[in-house]
Amino acid sequence: MTAPQTVSCPALFLSAPSSGEGKTTFTAALARYFRDQGKVVRIFKTGPDYLDPQILAQASGQDVEQLDMWMAGEEYCQQKLFEAAQVADLILVEGAMGMFDGDPSSADLAARFNIPVAIVMDVKGMAQTAAALVTGMANFRPDVHVAGLIANSCGTERHAELIRNALPEDLPLLATLPRNPDVALPERHLGLVQAEEVRDELEQRFNAGVDWVAGNPITELPAPVEFHAAEVPAVEPLLQGKKIAIAKDVAFSFIYDANLRLLQAMGAEYEFFSPLNDTVMPEADALWLPGGYPELYPAQLAGNTEMHRQIQMFHEAGKPILAECGGFLYCLETLTDLEENTYPMLGLMQGQGAMRGKRGCQGMQTAVLPEGDIRAHAHHRSRSEGTREPIGHGRRQRHPAPGEAIYRERGLTASYLHLFFASNPEAIAAVFNGADIAALAE
C-alpha cells in the first residue's frame, strides 16, 4: 500500500506583536485543554529554543519539535509537519519574538505551510488600539492569513467589548483572557525555568490554564490544513556501533530531541549521565557536553572531583568530545558565577568563564568546522577569557563580524554554539567518530 503524500490536520500558528505577550503561557494552556478532551496535540516551536519546548512537551504530553527554515531547512520542516499531521488531532506552532521579526520570520513559516495565525496580544492599557494593531498586522502581508485576536490581560467584559466592536468582521476576537498570575510560567535569566525543576508547579499552572481558556471560541478546533510529504535524503549509518555518553541533568539539558533521533538514525547508541550527581561516566566512544545552566550549580560541579577525573581521563585518551555553551564553560579551568564566586571546572582547555549579568550574546550562526558547516545558534550571558587561539569562528547569519570562537584541543571541539545536527549529519558523524580529528584541525 502506497503511503499518503498529503494529510489534513487542524492547525493554528500562535504569534504576537513582540516577545512577552504570553504566547507560551497560552499555547501551554490550550494544549492542555485539548489534551484533557482526549485529543493528541503536537506542538512545534519556531526557532532555536530549548526551554519553551520543555514546558510545552509537559503540557501536551508529546514531543515538541523546533522548526526553523534557516537552521533546519525548508524540506525538514515540511516533513516534520507532515509526520505530525498523520498522528495528531491538532497541530499548534508557537512563534518567536514578533510575528514579522527575523529572517525567516514566524510569518514566513506560517505563509510557507498555509497555517492560519492567531495573534496573542497583551491588551493591558489599551482597547481600540489593540484592534488597530492586530488589523495592521493582519493586512501587512497578503500571503499570511490571520484567524483572529487572543486578547491577553483583558480586564473586564466592557474591555473585551470595546476591542471586539473595533475589529473588522473578518477578524474575530478568539479569546479574552483575564490577568491571572496563577497561569504565568516561571522565568530566569535566559528565559523560562526548566520543566524538570518545577514539574509539580507547572501542573498546577496548566490546570489553572484550562479554566483560563475555557468558554472562548478558541477552544473549537480550527479548520484542517493540508500537509505534504517532503523529499528528504535517507540517513546513512555513519555512527554504526558507536556509543556516545551525553551529560543530562538540570545543569546540562539544552538537547534537541531531533539531535538525539539523528544520532540513533545514524546507528549510534547513547547513554545519559549526570555530571552533578554521578561519579562514574558511562563507557563510551565519544562524549557530548551540551548547554544548560552550569552557572547555577558551580559548587556541586566543582565538588564532584571523581567525575572530573573520569572526563579528564577520557580527554587525555584523545577521544572525541563535543562541548556546547554550558558544556564549553564546564571544560574551562574555572567558572565565576553571578555572585562573583569562582569554582574549579574540568580544565580540559585553558581559560576562565564568568557570568556577565544581563549582557549577553545571541543569534543564528554557522559553525565552520574542518568537518563541514553546521547550522547553529548562540544564546549566553557569560564570557570566556584566557583561552588559546581558536581554530575558527562561527559565521553570523546576517552580519560580517566573526561569530563565536571555535576551539579544538586533542579530541575536544568546544564553542558557545549550539549545533543543529540535522543540518549536516556527515559533519556531525565525523566529529563524533573523531577520525583524523587532529589532522583536520591543522
427/430 Cα distance (integer angstroms): 5
Burial class for 199, CB neighbours closer than 10 Å (0-12, 13-18, 19+) = exposed
Place of cell 550527581: 277
Catalytic pick among 9, 325, 331, 361 = 325
Continuous segment of H or E residues that includes residue 252: strand 252-254
Which three-class secondary structure state does DSSP give residue 15? strand
| Residue 325 annotated as catalytic | yes
Rounded Cα gap, residues 377 and 361, in angstroms: 10
What is the per-residue burial (b if ≥16 Cβ within 10 Å, else e) of 265-296?
Answer: bbebebeebebbebeebeebbbbbbbbbbbbb
Spatial CA neighbour of 9 closest among 116, 75, 84: 84
How many residues make up the chain in this entry?
Answer: 442
Paired with 414 in beta bridges are 323, 407
Q: How far apart are CA 441 and CA 422, in angstroms?
A: 22
Strands (E), 382-433: 382-385, 392-396, 402-409, 412-415, 418-419
Q: Beta-carbon neighbour count of residue 215 at 10 Å?
A: 10
DSSP state letter for 102: B
Q: At what angle are helices 257-265 and 425-433 packed, to 10 degrees?
A: 80
Q: In 3D, which of 177, 183, 165 has the Cα closest to residue 123?
A: 177
So which residues are the catalytic ones? 325
